[in-house]
Amino acid sequence: MVILYTAKKGVYINLNDISEEEKISGDLKVYVNLTNKCSCACTFCLRNTKEMKESNSLWLEREPTYDEIISEFKKYDITKFKEIIFCGFGEPTMALDTLIKVAEYIKNKSANTPIRLNSNGLGDLVHEKEIAPLFEGLIDTISISLNSSNAEEFLKLTRNKYGLSSYDSMIRFAISCKSYIPNVVMTVVDCIGEKEIAACQAICDKIGVHLRVRPFE
């Protein structure tokens, strides 16, 4: 089971498999693979393909427990990591309790190590409450997939079970994160076209968050 990993040129590497030198280089971004569960079934998501489930090492047969995650962290000097990112083959907020406890552990061990959470932004719907306050003092950056400038396209892409109102909920979540997380970023992929990117930029400007246009992988 791969719990901690890093990525090089799009290839995921188990943290156990990299050199000791790299582990303490100060340049290492470390990802935490918490869960396969997700409230979306995005049309472009690799986790939905059978091949990925069978061949990709990030696919978890079961969710790791808090203790299992911590024993992985204990193998390394966290203070040497450049950034720790909650991001795997599922939505990290689906394992919310573990996510919070692990973030607490990291901040206790190394208060200055930045923690990022990559999220689909639907955690409030899943947990039926405002979850952003739980991240205060723990998460330094949240990256939320905006995907689209409108609810219809968002739903078409993410195929989540919450319907059209999921879009507004995701935007509300981003706004709520601003009160608890220093850096709130929304992302879109570069292949959606200039007009759509401009429309997404306008939404981010309106709510006061940064938009990151990332390459489609």
Residues that bind ligand SF4 (CB under 6 A): 38, 40-42, 45, 47, 90-91, 120, 158
Q: In terms of CB distance, is 6 or 166 closer to ligand SF4?
A: 166
Cβ count within 10 A of residue 37: 16
Alpha-carbon distance of 104 to 125, in angstroms, equals 24
- Give Cα 173 distance to the centre of its chain: 14
Pairing of strands 29-32, 4-8: antiparallel
Beta carbon of residue 178, minimum distance to ligand SF4 (angstroms, whole number): 21
- Judge whether 152 and 140 are in contact, CB under 8 Å: no
Q: In what order do the strands lie in the sheet with 141-145?
A: 11-14, 4-8, 29-32, 83-86, 115-119, 141-145, 183-189, 210-214
Compare residues 40 and 177 and give the one whose CB is closer to ligand SF4: 40
Q: Which residues contact 203 (CB under 8 A, 6 or more apart)?
A: 146, 149, 171, 186
CB of 189 to ligand SF4, least distance (A): 11
- Our CB check for ligand SF4 shows the closer of 43 and 71 to be 43
| Nearer to ligand SF4 (CB atom), residue 49 or residue 165 | 49
Who contacts 63 (Cβ-Cβ below 8 Å, separation ≥6)? Answer: 34, 35, 36, 37, 95, 98
- CB-wise, 75 or 214, nearer to ligand SF4? 214
Nearer to ligand SF4, 13 or 45 (CB): 45
Which residue matches tokens 């790791």? 64
CB of 91 to ligand SF4, least distance (A): 5
